[in-house]
Amino acid sequence: MKKGTCIMNTYISVDVGGTQIRVAVYPETGTQALRIKKVATVGEGTPLERLIATVHDQMSPDENVKAIGICVPGPVDAEKGVISFCANLEGWENLPMRDILQAEFNVPVVIGNDANLAALGEWKYGAGRGHKNVVYFTISTGVGGGVVADNRLLHGHKGLATELGHTFLEPDSHYPCGCGQFGHLESFSSGTGIAYYANEQLNLGRESILQGKGKVNARDVAEAAQAGDALALETYARASKFLAYGIVNTLHTFNPSAVIFGGGVSMVGDLLFAPIKEALPKLVYSQDYLDDLHFAMAELGDDVGLLGCLALAHMETE
């Protein structure tokens, strides 16, 4: 450090995905990253070694790191700072990530599940700003979510709370969930669930413009629905119905003032959400749940994990 140089306080966010790790450095105030670096999880060294090396690379002698926030794609015991498991990261089972990184960097480290921290990021910096009680759904390959209640992120015992995609909706169902169970919200309203039902019906010989295209995915079904295909429209109406059930369960349980949606499947817009808005008044036991309820699309895009880490790191040091 040069003589007379002012030390800048910073926060570091680390967003761990199945295939890449993103590390961002943020100033003490504001959400515009000073710098961002991404590396593949696979390469020289283990994913943990690559994470540590990348964080070191992003540190500067002219900066004082106040805290590091980490989000990972798997269940986390936030109180203990232990990653229970990450399916795509070998060796990340009962991994004491917080202790490892605090010993390495000598700064406070906080850690959370990616869906929970997406909820926190949207509450703090995105579509949930100004709301004390927020439910966040991410609808993509699977269905995940998080809940902020009275300005606090819900973790639960062992960090397993608010697994919204695993809300149990249909007994004796044969529709699989990514967790290995059946009849969960994810079984019906995720991209995987949408594709599963469409392919099942096509294999039964249902008439559709999708016939003859081989195995279809949720995007194929959305495009067919937008072209007016009856089976595709039925498939999305079914996904909407079950998502409405999942939403009303969260309304009755958490009484949020905002429900926010992210993930690729949510981008189809009214195809998914128009039936939900029509159904909810018939499903809630009191219209008070819907008065002033704010429905919104997520605003933070690909940076939602990084900004969720930033929000969590701020909360650790405030």
Residue 47: CB partners within 8 Å, gap ≥ 6? 16, 21, 41, 89, 90, 91, 92
291/288 Cα distance (integer angstroms): 5
CA dihedral (296, 301, 305, 308) in degrees, to 10, reads -50
Set out the domains of the chain in order of their start, with CATH numbers: 8-119+303-317 (3.30.420.40), 131-298 (3.30.420.40)
CA-to-CA separations, 299 to 43, 118, 126, 169, 285, in angstroms, rounded: 32, 11, 5, 29, 30
68-92 residue pLDDT tens = 999 999 889 988 999 998 877 888 9
Cα distance between residue 308 and residue 305, in whole Å: 5
Alpha-carbon gap, residue 229 to 237, rounded angstroms? 12
Q: Region 194-222: what's the mean pLDDT?
A: 97
C-alpha to C-alpha distances, 264 to 30, 93, 112, 142, 286, nearest whole angstrom = 27, 28, 22, 10, 31
Give dist(CA 78, CA 67) in Å, integer: 15
Give pTM, 2 decimals: 0.92
Place of tokens 């995940």: 144
pLDDT digits (tens, 9 = 90+) for 225-271: 999 999 999 999 999 999 999 999 999 999 999 999 999 999 999 99
Q: Are the beta carbons of 232 and 210 closer than 8 angstroms?
A: yes
Paired strand residues for 76: 83
- Digit-coded pLDDT (tens) for 120-161: 999 999 999 999 999 999 999 999 999 999 999 999 988 889
Helix-, strand-, coil-residue percentages of the chain, each rounded to 5:
40, 25, 35
- Alpha-carbon span 175 to 182, nearest angstrom: 5
Query: H or E segment at 194?
Result: helix 191-203
SS3 at position 228: coil
Please give the radius of gyration of the chain, using alpha carbons only, rounded to the nearest integer. Answer: 21
Query: What is the rounded distance in angstroms from the CA atom of residue 310 to the CA atom of residue 69?
Result: 6
Sheet holding 20-27, edge to edge: 35-40, 20-27, 8-16, 63-72, 109-113
Q: pLDDT tens-digit profile of 26-46?
A: 999 999 999 999 999 888 889
